Amino acid sequence: MQAIQLGDTTIHFAFNKGDKDLTLVFINSLGTDFRIWDAVIDGLGTEFGTLRFDKRGHGLSSLGAVEKGSISTYATDAMGLCEALGLHKIVLVGLSIGGLISLDIYQRYSERIAGIVFMDTAPKIGTAEAWNNRIQAISTKGMQAVASSILTNWFSISFQEQQPAAFALYQAMLERADVLGYMIACEAIRDADYTETAQAITIPVICMVGEEDKSTPVALVQAFAQLMNCSLISIPNSGHLPCVDSPERTTAILHDFISAL
Ligand SMILES: O=C(O)CC1=CCC(=O)O1
């Protein structure tokens, strides 16, 4: 188990050094820990380095002293971790809130980033009203009050029908999420709008989205891709987490992208 103290937080991570001097840095979605990338990591092999981590207040990482959610705090943590590991050629893979964090990293550390894979994300996700409603529901009733409806957005119909045991484990992951850590992340998403940053991107990027994603639907991600003038890769039989629903396809897309850099 790998961990590091970064200021006020202890971050749980998994780093595999690659044969080549380029590292994929995976940045998770809301309410998940870095196990969501397991199958993709297995598929990628050892050619490139990989870094996964639990953002603060998620998985085994502590929340630290934050009182208000901010995407920049997560971005600073991610780059602090990269710095501590001596990673200087980085490709970000940002899933959902991970895409917002990637945009914040690009805004402040563009010289360190060789490319970004935006996965089921957008520069602005959801409305303030929806996030406030979710925060309110969780603060009064806990994670179980929201888990079922969120989970059906995370996974394709076929995953839900054909992999009930795996689905149950992801339900446990979400229901056991730290309430405060989760609410702080909801606040951070609510208050984020990186549209201007996205418009100004000049490094290689791709967008991908699960065709059955109901959290950041195809039309939203399509508009994001158009903003950046990049192509959108849509993945059949996949919801909000293509790395879980369709790991082989996700691995192939990542491999093609980084091989061409
Ligand atoms: O869990 C969800 O509702 C989907 C989601 C939105 C932002 C994020 O990171 O996940």
Q: To the nearest whole number, what is the mean pLDDT of the chain?
A: 97
32 pLDDT exceeds 90?
yes
Phi, psi of 149 (to 5 degrees): -70, -35
Residues with Cβ within 6 A of ligand 1? 29-31, 96-97, 125, 150, 153, 189, 215, 240
**CATH H superfamily, domain 2-260:** Alpha/Beta hydrolase fold, catalytic domain (3.40.50.1820)
Distance 176 CA to ligand 1 centre (A): 16
Pocket test for ligand 1, best of 96, 148, 220 (most atoms within 8 A of CB): 96
Tens digits of residue pLDDT in 98-143: 999 999 999 999 999 999 999 999 999 999 999 999 999 999 999 9
Distance 155 CA to ligand 1 centre (A): 12
Distance 163 CA to ligand 1 centre (A): 21
What are the residue ranges spanned by the domains of the chain?
A: 2-260
Tens digits of residue pLDDT in 140-169: 999 999 999 999 999 999 999 999 999 999
Work out the number of other CB atoms within 10 angstroms of the CB of residue 112. Answer: 16
3 pLDDT exceeds 90?
yes
Distance 143 CA to ligand 1 centre (A): 14
CA dihedral 74, 76, 82, 86 (to 10 degrees): -170
231 pLDDT exceeds 90?
no
Distance 87 CA to ligand 1 centre (A): 28
Looking at residue 47, its pLDDT comes to: 95
ipTM score of complex: 0.98
* 246, two tokens: 């369709």
How does DSSP assign 117-156, residue by residue? EEES--SS-S-HHHHHHHHHHHHHH-THHHHHHHHHHHS-
The dihedral sign for the CA sequence 251, 217, 74, 1:
negative
Scanning 142-246, the segments in alpha helix (DSSP H) are: 144-154, 157-162, 164-175, 179-190, 195-199, 218-227, 242-245
75 pLDDT exceeds 90?
yes
Tens digits of residue pLDDT in 13-28: 999 999 999 999 999 9
Looking at residue 118, its pLDDT comes to: 98
Distance 97 CA to ligand 1 centre (A): 7
Q: What is the pLDDT confidence band of residue 67, given thresholds at 50, 70 and 90?
A: confident
Q: Which atom of ligand 1 is nearest to the CA of 126?
A: 6
Q: Which atom of ligand 1 is nearest to the CA of 95?
A: 9
Pocket test for ligand 1, best of 27, 28, 30 (most atoms within 8 A of CB): 30
The percentage of the chain sitting over the pLDDT mark of 70, rounded to a whole number, equals 100
